């Protein structure tokens, strides 16, 4: 198993960007609620900005005072998991790469949920989408944090 040494600078940048990203997602419906024309225009651009990253189906998104946030429940869960993981690893010095089986097991639930919805076994269960999104986010951001670790040295191998 390879042990990676985390460079805090990278994690700080990643945490900052993720926080901005999540704030952008949450702030758009609040701007609509405000009723201010300038803020509404900014929120229009925010919805437009996040559009390529997500289908933005209002029925599959969390609402804030009747207006959906900029991304769907699954995407939001992925980013939340990413933020939680970066904050968690901030207090750690090293990170171990997991086995391929573990990554596959973490990615599989979201993939199954996606496929089962596509073949209409069930439709739009928000907490399932949120849960599988969190698990997928952990796998993706774990790989990402290792990817940003600047100093990687193999300590021992199993």
148 binds other proteins, rule: CB under 8 A: yes
59 binds other proteins, rule: CB under 8 A: yes
Nearest alpha-carbon partner for 112 in 144, 104, 98, 143: 104
Interaction mask 19-48, other proteins, x per CB under 8 A = -------------------------xx-xx
Give me the residue label for tokens 């990687």.
152
Choices 83-91, 121-129, 145-153 (CB under 8 A): range interacting with other proteins? 145-153
With beta carbons less than 8 A apart as the criterion, state whether 24 and 75 touch.
Answer: no
Question: Rounded to the nearest 10 degrees, what angle do helices 73-90 and 8-34 cross at?
Answer: 140
144/66 Cα distance (integer angstroms): 34
136 binds other proteins, rule: CB under 8 A: yes
Distance from CA of residue 112 to its chain's centroid? 18
Distances, alpha carbon 40 to alpha carbons 22, 29, 53, in Å: 18, 9, 21
144 binds other proteins, rule: CB under 8 A: yes
Closer by beta carbon to other proteins, 26 or else 144: 144
86/144 Cα distance (integer angstroms): 10
Among 25, 73, 78, 106, binds other proteins (CB under 8 A): 78
Interaction mask 95-134, other proteins, x per CB under 8 A = --x----------------x--------------------
Among 8, 58, 94, 124, binds other proteins (CB under 8 A): 58
For strand 63-64 and strand 3-5, is the pairing parallel, antiparallel, or unpaired? unpaired
Tokens of 10: 């990278």
Residue ranges in contact with other proteins by CB under 8 A: 2, 10, 17, 44-45, 47-49, 52-55, 57-59, 74-75, 78, 97, 114, 136, 140, 143-144, 146-150, 152-154
């Amino acid at each position: 198993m390879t042990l990676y040494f985390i460079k805090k600078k990278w994690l700080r940048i990643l945490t900052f960007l993720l926080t901005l990203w999540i704030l952008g997602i949450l702030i758009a419906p609040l701007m609509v609620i405000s009723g201010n024309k300038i803020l509404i225009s900014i929120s229009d651009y925010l919805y437009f900005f996040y559009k390529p990253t997500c289908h933005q189906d209002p029925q599959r998104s969390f609402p804030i005072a009747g207006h959906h946030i900029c991304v769907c429940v699954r995407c939001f869960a992925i980013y939340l998991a990413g933020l939680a993981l970066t904050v968690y690893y901030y207090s750690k010095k090293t990170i171990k790469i997991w086995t391929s089986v573990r990554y596959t097991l973490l990615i599989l639930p979201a993939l199954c949920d996606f496929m089962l919805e596509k073949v209409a076994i069930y439709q739009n269960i928000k907490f399932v989408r949120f849960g599988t999104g969190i698990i997928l986010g952990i796998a993706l951001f774990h790989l990402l944090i290792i990817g940003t670790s600047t100093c990687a040295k193999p300590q021992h191998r199993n």
